Amino acid sequence: MSAHAHFADRIVLRARALGHPLCAGVDPHLAQIPPLFRRGDMALAAPATAAAVRDFCLAFVTRAAPRAVCLKPQSAFFEQLGPAGVAVLADVLIAARDADCPVILDAKRGDIGSTAEAYAQAYLDRDASMPADALTVNPYLGLDSLTPFAERARNAGRGLFVLVKTSNAGSGDFQDQPIDSAPLFEFVARALAPLAKELQGPTTNWSSLGVVVGATYPEQAEQVRQRLPHSLFLIPGYGAQGGAAADSVRSFVPGPAGLEGGIVNSSRGVLFPPAASSAQHAADWERAIDEALDRACQELGEAVGG
């Protein structure tokens, strides 16, 4: 499928074809990179460290790209390695694109005016040197801060996922505070509705303006769904953060191939399964990763009843 197709259409058609909503996180926590890939003392600034992370991530992309609906690299773990790490992130983004697997860069950017425009150029333009299909963004700065990202959704087949209700324990500090008797996160969801409607896809009706809603808050996810009936939910917190598969898809709705309406992220569960971390040979590591991915696909596939 062309990279210029509507982002949400592309995601949903792929999820229907695969029969599950798995988004595979690419979060290379340094301490967890398996011995098979480690080089030297894995000091943050060592060139060997970036090379090890590159090999590890690209090997994972090879396994995950055909199986997952999309990949989600977490920018922080690459930025942590400095410029060499950002070069590895670029390689990961390009490898996903070459494997024809949609990729969401989890960078949670948010800024205003020409600065927001620069972030959109950096990650969502067709000729971006860090090319992603979608970007996670933070709404605190207001709706005008989303304009450059929405423009790429409109004109370049890109998507954005706006943080609405995050999966952490402290997410309630501000997101749950009442405005006109509804919590802030619901107010944000309501404010996003017109733009979400405008960015619905021609094939599936799903919108390229998606939202992030943690699997740890399934009831809140249902509230957000009422406000944003056509937005894809990017759902972190499944697996390692304690969210169950069934809870993860509580905001999904019936579609032609089971429940649909979002993607469920697993990072540590598929990237660092114990059997992979103790593998002595590449083939053993590959088998363990494949098994972890297939397990997540199956569990989530059962949850959506596809």
List active site positions.
108
- Taking the C-alpha atoms of residue 192 and residue 177, their distance in angstroms, rounded to an integer, is 18
Burial (CB < 10 A; 0-12, 13-18, 19+), residue 292, is: buried
- The label of the residue with tokens 């801060």 reads 145
Binding residue for a second copy, selected from 17, 40, 66, 174, defined by CB under 8 A: 174
> Strand 182-183 and strand 178-179: pairing?
antiparallel
- Taking the C-alpha atoms of residue 164 and residue 185, their distance in angstroms, rounded to an integer, is 5
Q: Are 183 and 175 in contact (CB under 8 A)?
A: yes
Kindly state whether residue 160 participates in binding a second copy, applying the rule CB under 8 A: no
Binding residue for a second copy, selected from 35, 66, 98, 129, defined by CB under 8 A: 129
Q: Which stretch binds a second copy (CB under 8 A): 55-63, 150-158, 171-179, 223-231?
A: 171-179
* For a second copy, the closer CB: 171 or 220: 171
Kindly state whether residue 27 participates in binding a second copy, applying the rule CB under 8 A: yes
Kindly state whether residue 40 participates in binding a second copy, applying the rule CB under 8 A: no
Binding residue for a second copy, selected from 103, 188, 228, 303, defined by CB under 8 A: 188
Question: How many chain residues bind a second copy (CB under 8 A)?
Answer: 61
Kindly state whether residue 41 participates in binding a second copy, applying the rule CB under 8 A: no
Nearest to 293 by CA among 36, 11, 66, 64: 64
Structure tokens that stand for 154 in this block = 């409109």
> Strand 159-165 and strand 258-260: pairing?
unpaired
Q: Minimum Å distance from CB 140 to a second copy?
A: 4
Kindly state whether residue 113 participates in binding a second copy, applying the rule CB under 8 A: yes
Kindly state whether residue 193 participates in binding a second copy, applying the rule CB under 8 A: no
Q: Minimum Å distance from CB 23 to a second copy?
A: 15
Kindly state whether residue 184 participates in binding a second copy, applying the rule CB under 8 A: yes
Nearest to 234 by CA among 213, 249, 207: 213
Among positions 82-101, residues that touch a second copy (CB under 8 A) are 82-84, 86-87, 89-90
Q: At what angle do helices 47-64 and 282-304 cross, to 10 degrees?
A: 50
First-last CA distance in the chain: 22
Q: Minimum Å distance from CB 3 to a second copy?
A: 17
Query: Beta-carbon neighbour count of residue 44 at 10 Å?
Result: 12
Q: Which parts of this chain interact with a second copy (CB under 8 A)? A: 27, 29, 44-45, 74, 76-77, 79-84, 86-87, 89-90, 108-116, 118-119, 121-123, 127-130, 138-145, 163, 166-175, 177-179, 184, 187-188, 191
